[in-house]
Amino acid sequence: MHSLEDGHIKKFNFSEIPKHILVHGQKVGVLAFGIAEILNYSHSKKLDVAVAGLYHDYGKIWVKPSILNKPGPLNEEEMKVMKLHVLYSSQIVSSFINLRKYGEIIKYHHEYMDGSGYYGLKGIEIPELSKILTVADVYDALISDRIYRRAFSTEKALEIMEKEKHRYDKRILESLFKMVEKTCICCSFNGRELRKAH
């Protein structure tokens, strides 16, 4: 894969995106839209964060499946490769004129308020909409099955995030809590429920 910094990008085809990345993107997009709505964002900002949510993990198509699907903790080298997915996703959207504006939001979707994320950005250094993606992304990951664990219940997921609240923007985390309370978003998103339904 050539990065945009080299002036090239590997040929990208939307049909290559596996279903689990598409579904996760759709869920994160919906969650991010809901959080932005509770925060009273403008309609265009709500759409921006929802669209960024759709594409935020597309770069994972260029991370080796052996790393992406490893059923245990990643070693230092593997983690370095995994971290590149934010850059790849950002490069994918930036290669389309209509999607270019989502590149920066997506690039920073693994940043935490305490500086413990991929690029080590802290607090106000992190773009506002990226902070929403982070919260939506973590929540969806927790309520979804993973290779190494089953999905957590909504209550447990919120409890885990509450314990790590220093990592998230306070208002955004509170908005997630309000949204989940209001919409019971877990019911339609839970992997096991979806499998039962189809």
Residues designated catalytic: 60
What number of chain residues touch Fe ion (CB under 5 A)? 1
Stretch that binds Fe ion, among 49-57, 62-70, 142-150, 168-176 (CB under 5 A): 49-57
Instruction: Considering only the stretches 3-11, 30-38, 50-58, 65-73, report the one whose residues sit in contact with Fe ion under the rule CB under 5 A.
Output: 50-58
Contact pick of 29, 39, 57, 135 for Fe ion (by CB under 5 A) = 57
Residue 166-195 contact track with Fe ion, rule CB under 5 A, x = bound: ------------------------------
Token representation of residue 143: 């309520």
Give the nearer residue to Fe ion in terms of CB position, either 57 or 111: 57
- Pick 7 or 73: Cβ nearer Fe ion: 73
Distance of alpha carbon 107 from alpha carbon 99, whole angstroms: 13
Q: Which is nearer to Fe ion, 115 or 178 (CB)?
A: 115
With CB atoms as reference, the residue minimizing the distance to Fe ion is: 57
Determine the Cα angle at 4 with ends 48 and 23, to 5°: 45
35-to-3, 56, 162, 185 alpha-carbon distances in Å: 32, 16, 16, 12
Report H helices in 110-184. 128-142, 154-163, 170-183
Sign of the Cα torsion 68, 69, 70, 73 reads positive
Q: Which stretch binds Fe ion (CB under 5 A): 8-16, 23-31, 53-61, 147-155?
A: 53-61
Smallest gap from residue 109 Cβ to Fe ion (A): 6
- Nearest distance from residue 108's CB to Fe ion, in Å? 11
Are the CB atoms for 170 and 151 separated by under 8 Å? Answer: no
Do 99 and 47 form a contact (C-beta atoms < 8 A)?
no
Q: How far is the CB of 197 from Fe ion (least distance, A)?
A: 26
Q: Which of 84, 37, 68 is nearest to 182 (CA)?
A: 37
Our CB check for Fe ion shows the closer of 119 and 178 to be 119
Interface positions with Fe ion (CB under 5 A): 57
